[in-house]
Amino acid sequence: MAQTSEIEWTDATWNPVTGCTKIGPGCDNCYAERFAERWRGVAGHPYEQGFDLTLWPSRLMQPAQWKKPRMIFVNSMSDLFHKDIDRTFIDNVFDAMEQANWHVYQVLTKRSSLMRNYVRKRYGGGSVPRHIWLGVSVEDAAHTSRIEHLKQINSDARFISFEPLLGSIGDVDLGGIAWAIVGGESGPRARPMDEKWARQIRDICDRDEVAFFFKQWGGARPKSGGRLLDGEEWNGFPWQIVPEPILDQISA
């Protein structure tokens, strides 16, 4: 299902895959699972199957139907590099992104080694097309190996989502990362985010010349705590990596 998005850092979502399984503490209170399971068993609903992993070949050509360039978050309701997704289907998703190349695609995963391995095979060591942004989710210091996997991908458009941020990430090296997004957890069981953790990432981004975006404090609802850090909004965006033809359209 392709749709506009309320996510602050993108324009639209595209879900050729839905459903997932948990692989770490960042998944414990998954918003996508909570939403999808509300509709399990409702005949004819897109989430009639709940959060079971489901491939949607009929959605592969949806980006080609959007003529105006957009920032598209790929699989907001899943993870493209889930181990049970066949490589051929991932190929089809990348084919669709390469064909409709007037958009920017934001692909985010927790399965960072699988993404790295796939991308290396697909592009044979060559650079990933600049309109395909690859990112990893990192919730705490125990999962910073995902950052190292991301750095092993030949791309200028690497980004990290520190959401939900559940602990300090430590003094990591973010050199070579274009963009960092920080956010607290939201929902009925939201775990609080310490201000020190968010400030730490902001300061590392300043040191390593990474665009810094502070999305939310979180709480019972995404906007419960607002999005001011030290009294300011932080809306950093890596404009330098947006391909020029797309940049002209997005900025218009």
The closest alpha carbon to 151, from 210, 64, 77, 236, belongs to 210
pLDDT in tens, 199-239: 999 999 999 999 999 999 999 988 899 999 999 999 999 99
The closest alpha carbon to 118, from 93, 140, 139, 145, belongs to 93
User: Contact, 142 vs 110, CB < 8 A?
Assistant: no
The set of residues, in sequence order, having a beta carbon less than 8 Å from that of 175 and lying 6+ positions away, is 208, 209
The set of residues, in sequence order, having a beta carbon less than 8 Å from that of 56 and lying 6+ positions away, is 15, 16, 17, 18
Rounded to 10 degrees, the C-alpha dihedral 90/166/203/174 comes to: -30
Considering the chain, what is the average pLDDT of its residues?
Answer: 95
Dist CA 165 CA 191 (whole Å) = 9
Joined tokens for residue 37: 């399971």
Specify the pLDDT at position 18. Answer: 98
Q: Where are the domains of the chain?
A: 7-16+61-251
pLDDT in tens, 135-191: 999 999 999 999 999 999 999 999 999 999 999 999 999 999 999 999 999 999 999
Dist CA 14 CA 66 (whole Å) = 11
Q: Quick one: pLDDT band at residue 2, thresholds 50, 70, 90?
A: very low
Helix ranges (DSSP H) in the chain? 31-37, 62-65, 87-99, 112-123, 145-151, 195-208, 244-251
Examine the pLDDT at 1 and tell me if it is beyond 60.
no
Q: Quick one: pLDDT band at residue 77, thresholds 50, 70, 90?
A: very high
Q: Quick one: pLDDT band at residue 3, thresholds 50, 70, 90?
A: low
Could you name the CATH architecture of 7-16+61-251?
A: Alpha-Beta Horseshoe (3.80)
The reported pTM is: 0.95
Helix ranges (DSSP H) in 21-166? 31-37, 62-65, 87-99, 112-123, 145-151
